[in-house]
Structure 1
Amino acid sequence: MSLQADVEDLWQRKQGGLTAVDATDEHLAVLDEFLAALEAGDVRAAEKSGGEWEVNEWVKQGILLNFGLRETVAREHGGVDYHDVLPLRETGDLGDRGTRNTPDGTTIRRGAYLGSDCIMMSPSFVNIGAYVGDGTLVDSCDTVGSCAQIGENVKLGANTLIGGVLEPVENAPVIIEDNVSLGAGCRVTSGFVVGENSVVGENTLLTPRIPVYDLVEEEVLYGELPANRRAFTRFVESSISDHDLFDGGAYKPAVVATDLETETLEATEREDALRE
């Protein structure tokens, strides 16, 4: 059987009542093989096909099985005691492909993939199932959530949150495509897709519940920022703006997307100095 078939069979057994107490060495061997495939980048929670992102539900099932069929045990890492179903990821393979994670606080959970020439600054965290492409910077105080797909040469500004989407298994994770720059303090959640080559201003919240006013195509979008955009937060009038409790009116956040101007690339060029 293939790895996918093994995982799907184990998922059906779990739905039929299999628990961590019942899990055999053979079951756990399948899960170990699955985690190794995630860490090697051989399998991903989502992939682009025909210009559209498609979820690999069986991969998300495999991740959930690691929580459902393993016992929580006491562990130790770097002098810190913790309790989890999995140890942290081994990082010996990262140096061989030019990726570096600085000391005192870069945490990579098992089942996460980091490509070549990546940088993880302290403190930062990459969760199980996440995919971080070649040449990407994960800056200080960043979190890359479970199953998030980060493209190549992406700049995640300091204190950026990339949300995790693990359940339901059919839901798409957060997608950050190639050559995107997210300013410090950005939040991207709930399966939002940021198109390639876009630059997002500091402290921008990107979530399907907040509209994106695309001034290029003159349309309102939800859940996506098109490619080649410069995006930033603006506040627009709320439907409750006339309420007596809101002196001067109430406002709600929105995202404005414009043409990607040449000068907006200056911030990303500064990041290149880290690699010279």
Structure 2
Amino acid sequence: MKLNKLKLSIENAWNHKEKLEYHLKNDVIYVINQIDKGNIRVSEFLNGKWRINEWVKKAIIMYFSIQKMNLIELGPLEFYDKIPVKNKFKKKGIRVVPPAVARYGSYISTGVILMPSYVNIGAYIGEGTMIDTWATVGSCAQIGSRVHISGGVGIGGVLEPIQASPVIIEDDVFIGSRCILVEGVIIQKEAVLGANVVLTSSTKIFDVSNENSILMKGVIPPSSVVIPGTYPKKFPSGIYHIPCALIIGKRKESTNKKTSLNEVLRTHHLF
């Protein structure tokens, strides 16, 4: 089915979702199948910027409404849910360490390693990426190739509001342990985030690598090395320090993309 025709069908289904006709339900199911295969994405990079495919998010939301609760048995494990789990990892060349779980309707590329972790519907994970222990990849999050998501990282999901952007992590990024990334923040290529960096759409990001700091929000520029910080803010009861993120420098071109976070921080005299 051509993409434009499929998009129109999903929009039509969305406008009549109180009582979906049979063929419209089939189109919703078809979209989820294509997301699962990586042929359709919630967000894609076109003409130099990320674009949200709102109609794809609508299909995911409607998929929940037409699916029935089912018992899922995996050996001694039992689940009860509307969405099945992904399978056939060996055939796809994906290493999955128990008890990692990826939901059907997420796309996981060849060469990905899933340590005990969770990947939600609508997510996209590029080739050669590592999702480390107890990391969570939320619904519709977009993860590039050769990314390292360290242990305990929380990547927020987003389905509603429809126009909201998912968290996007571009290629060759390193995300340190216990980072929290939510509300559609974008981590651009080859950036390195130190442990415990928390980013929301409103988090202040200060580039302090030069004499005068630069304030930004929502986006970490390419090759940035980022650590957690604080800044003072005055309240009626006094001055308190609010969390922020500090860009302390750039990842050097000579630095191997697979280098450890510790090596990068040593370069900037922080370890």
Considering the TM-score relative to the shorter chain, is it more than 0.5?
A: yes
Give aligned pairs, total.
Answer: 259
Amino acid of the residue matched to residue 210 of structure 1?
Answer: T
Which range is displaced more, 70-79 or 56-65?
70-79
Amino acid of the residue matched to residue 132 of structure 2?
Answer: D
Q: Within 2, Cα distance between the matches of 1:267 and 1:15?
A: 46
Select the residue among 104, 109, 117 that pairs with 1:115: 109
**How far did residue 151 of structure 1 move?**
0.5
What's 1:147 paired with? 140
Matched, 1:157 2:150: yes
Q: In the alignment, is the contact (CA less than 8 A) between 1:66 and 1:85 conserved in 2?
A: no
List gaps (5 residues or longer) in structure 2.
262-271
Matched, 1:178 2:171: yes
Deviations, residues 68-115 of structure 1 (Å, cap 9, x unaligned): 2223334333433333222112x21x3234321112x11010101111
Matched, 1:30 2:27: yes
Q: Within 1, Cα distance between the matches of 2:169 and 2:254?
A: 18
Q: Secondary structure at the match of 2:67?
A: coil
What's 1:2 paired with? 2
Change (3 A) 1:206 1:78: farther
Q: Within 2, Cα distance between the matches of 1:151 and 1:8?
A: 28
Which range is displaced more, 125-134 or 26-35?
26-35
Select the residue among 72, 75, 80 that pairs with 2:77: 80
Q: Within 1, Cα distance between the matches of 2:257 and 2:54?
A: 37
Matched, 1:68 2:65: yes
Q: Secondary structure at the match of 1:140?
A: coil
Change (3 A) 1:220 1:17: same
Amino acid of the residue matched to residue 243 of structure 2?
Answer: P
Q: Secondary structure at the match of 2:18?
A: coil
Deviations, residues 185-233 of structure 1 (Å, cap 9, x unaligned): 0110000000110100001101112100123574211111111100011
Q: Secondary structure at the match of 1:18?
A: helix
What's 1:274 paired with? none
Amino acid of the residue matched to residue 150 of structure 2?
Answer: G
What's 1:221 paired with? 216
Alpha-carbon RMSD: 2.5
Matched, 1:250 2:240: yes
Identity across matched positions, percent: 29
Q: In the alignment, is the contact (CA less than 8 A) between 2:9 and 2:27 conserved in 1?
A: no
Q: Within 2, Cα distance between the matches of 1:151 and 1:10?
A: 27
Q: In the alignment, is the contact (CA less than 8 A) between 1:132 and 1:152 conserved in 2?
A: yes
Deviations, residues 151-176 of structure 1 (Å, cap 9, x unaligned): 01000010001100111222211000
Q: In the alignment, is the contact (CA less than 8 A) between 1:233 and 1:253 conserved in 2?
A: yes
Q: Within 2, Cα distance between the matches of 1:243 and 1:202?
A: 31
**How far did residue 51 of structure 1 move?**
1.4
Change (3 A) 1:14 1:261: closer
Q: In the alignment, is the contact (CA less than 8 A) between 2:191 and 2:251 conserved in 1?
A: no
List gaps (5 residues or longer) in structure 1.
272-276
Q: Secondary structure at the match of 1:250?
A: strand
